[in-house]
Each structure stands twice: as C-alpha cells, then as structure tokens.
Amino acid sequence: MKLPTEVEGRQQLADEIHARPFEPLSTPGAALAIATLREGPDDDALCIAHLARLGGEASAAGAATQCQVRCGALRVRWERHTEFHTFTVFTDLGELAMDQAFDTGWLDALPHDWLASLPGRMISATELAVLPCPGDPPHARLVAPLFGSDLLVGNRVADGAATVVSDLRTKEGVTRFLVFDHAMNRRRAGRTVQRLIEVDTYRMMALLSLPLASRRMGQLAAEETQLASLMARFHDATDGDEVLLHELVTLAAQVEHAMAENSARFAATRAYSGIVNQRLVDLRETLVPGLQPLSEFMARRFRPAMDSCAATSARQTQLSERIARAAQLLQTRSEVERERQNQALLSSLDRRQGLQLRLQETVEGLSVIAMTYYGVGLSNYLLKPLAKAMGWHETAVTLVAVPVIALLVLLNVRRLRRHLHQSADS
C-alpha cells in the first residue's frame, strides 16, 4: 500500500505514546530508583556511558531518552526527563521473607561504586519490595519495625489487588515502599511499582520550589511595603513625579528580575504536582483499616506546600500588576500636569499673539502715514510744474495728492498682508 509523504518527525510523534513503558516485575521482586538532576548539556552522554559500565549492549528508545541493560539478574533502566534522569534497578527474587524485604544484598551484582558515582546530584531515591500475600495484609504493628516508625500510611491499590505501606520518610537517603501482592500479574505489578516511584520522584521535584517560595515570601512582603510607601507619597504629592517614577521603575525591575528567575521553577512545580495527583488517582486506592490513606496523607502534607508555591507565584504576579497600575497612574498624573502647563503656555502665546497683532496694526497705520508723507513729498516734485502750467495753486495739488496716495498705500499694504496669509496657510 502506497501512502502520501509523511510529515517530518511523524514516526517519533507516533512512538511518543509508547515511550517509557512499564517494566514487568515478578513477585517477590524489588526495585531501586534514583533520580539525579540534569546539570549540563553532556549529562545524557555521561549517563549512557555510566550505564555501559555494566556491560552488555544498551538498547536505546525514543531518541536516546531511554536505555536499558542487563547486569546478571538485574535489569537497569535509564530515562531522561526534562530536568532530571532516573536510574531504576529491577530484580525478580525467588524467595523473600517479610523481615528481609529491604535487604539490598541483591544490589551487590552492581559494581562497587556504580550507584555512588551516578552523574548529577540526587533528588530522590526510592526502594520498593513486592511480597506475595494471598490473604489480608499483615497488621500495621507487624510491618512498622521494617520502617522503624509507627507512623505508617498506605492503602489497597489496583482495585484491591495489592496493598502499599510506607512511612514516606527518608532513611539513609532512601524512601521505602512495601507492596503486598494479593492478585497481580507481572505487568500490573510493574505498573504499580512505577506509579509509586513516580509519586515519590515527582513529589521531590515539586518540592524544589518550597525553599524558593519561603525566601520569596519575605522579599515580597518588603516589596509590597515599598510599593505602599510609594503610593502614599504619590497620594500626598510629597515628592516630584521624577523621583517617584525612578523608584517605581527600580522596584519594577527588581520584581521582574525575580519573576524571570523563578517563574519557570514555579511552573514546573505546578506540572509535577499535577503528575503526583494523577498517579495517586491511577493507583485506585481503597481503604485499609488502621492505616492513613496515602492520598489523604499527601493532601494534608504535600498539598499545603504546593499551595504555598502557587500562592507565592500568584502574589508576585499580582505585585507586578500593581506596580504596572501605579506606574500608569503616575504617568497619567504627569500627562495631566503637562497638559495643564501646555494649556497655560498656549494661553500665554494667544495673549502675546493678540498684543503682537495690535502692535502690528499700529505699525501698519504708522507705516501708511509715513509712506503717504514721503509719497506726497515726491509727488510735489512731479506735480508742481503741471500745477504752474494749469494755473493751480501748489497747496491744492498737495491736498488732492494726499488722499490718493494714502488710498494707494493702504490698498498695497492690504494686498501684501493677504498674500502673506495665503502663503502661511499653504
């Protein structure tokens, strides 16, 4: 069958839905997942090279976003995420007693320093043990010694096919989960284990913003106080607009710089928190008497931390908007003041123009008189011989010449003024 030309990258897009498949796990079995932060462009190559130290050929998938190797009875998987890498070691155990659930002797198959020398800084380490349990799970007081804590959380998961117990505490750098398998196959056990790993890993990734939120809250309080002081001075008009505008711009730059630094972190926290919540839903919990549900514990302890991060992000966004409104108010007041000054200047110009017009009219009147005087004086030289020839008196000639010359001068001045106005209008 011949098909049209594919869109570039179509196969990769189609394979995305199959990326990071669940690793099947037999019961009894165990897994250890370690997440390390990505800190450089060469991290991927370092991780793959570190995986290659185990021997065998690494099978890559999804444009080298996932590789897996076997190391004896162990299956080791590397996965690349946006901000971190995960190395997960799986093993199927032939027999495992409950008091040996967290015995990590099976990791001896790895090279001595292999785990300690993983690329990047560790953000989470999760250990899981899956034990067969055909009937009801052991009572919490029998399981508590394995964790060294009486404060256990857990629930039936996978529609009652398994029971998960944990204290969600980090001991020796590791968070431990104990899974009692009541009726799971290998693939369902792998999905359950993977979801628990992701709950713990994404929980830690989401909490990376909490120290930043705590520190930023204190800074926001100081910035809001500074803005309130600026607005009080703006209201009282105790300082000039230029001084207020300078301080406001400085404050705005400070807030925007902080938002540029931490907005991505808070956005990542929202995404990771959503994944944690979705994985808890995917576990499909049912209540176990005597245990606090995992989702309830997370809602009581994890959700307030996420709400604090969300509140900090929203608060700094609101502060930025308030600063923008304050700057707009200051700019509006400055524009109103400039308009008032411009109006006063225009009024002054109008008064000056009126005075100049009256002065110009006065000068024009004097000019007409002067030009008429000189015109009459010149005309006398021309008209005197004519007056003698016709027997007229010189005074009579002058009296006749004055209005004629004055009218001619006036008409010429008006014509010149009209021509100047037409030139100015064009």
pLDDT tens string, the chain, 426 residues long: the values are: 778 888 887 777 777 776 777 889 999 999 999 999 998 888 888 888 898 888 766 555 445 678 889 888 899 999 999 899 999 999 998 887 888 889 989 999 999 899 999 999 999 999 999 999 988 888 888 888 888 887 899 899 998 899 999 999 988 899 999 999 999 999 999 999 999 999 999 999 999 999 999 999 999 999 999 888 888 877 777 667 778 888 888 898 999 999 989 999 999 999 999 999 999 999 998 887 778 888 888 888 889 999 999 999 999 999 999 988 888 888 877 777 777 777 878 777 777 777 776 766 666 666 767 677 667 676 766 666 766 666 666 666 666 667 777 777 777 777 777 776 676 666
What is the pTM (predicted TM-score) of this model? 0.76
Q: Tell me the torsion sign for CA atoms 114, 119, 121, 123.
A: negative
* Residues in Cβ contact with 37 at an 8 Å cutoff, skipping those fewer than 6 apart: 83, 84, 120, 121, 123
- Check if the beta carbon of residue 86 is closer than 8 Å to that of residue 125: no
CA distance 401 to 392: 13
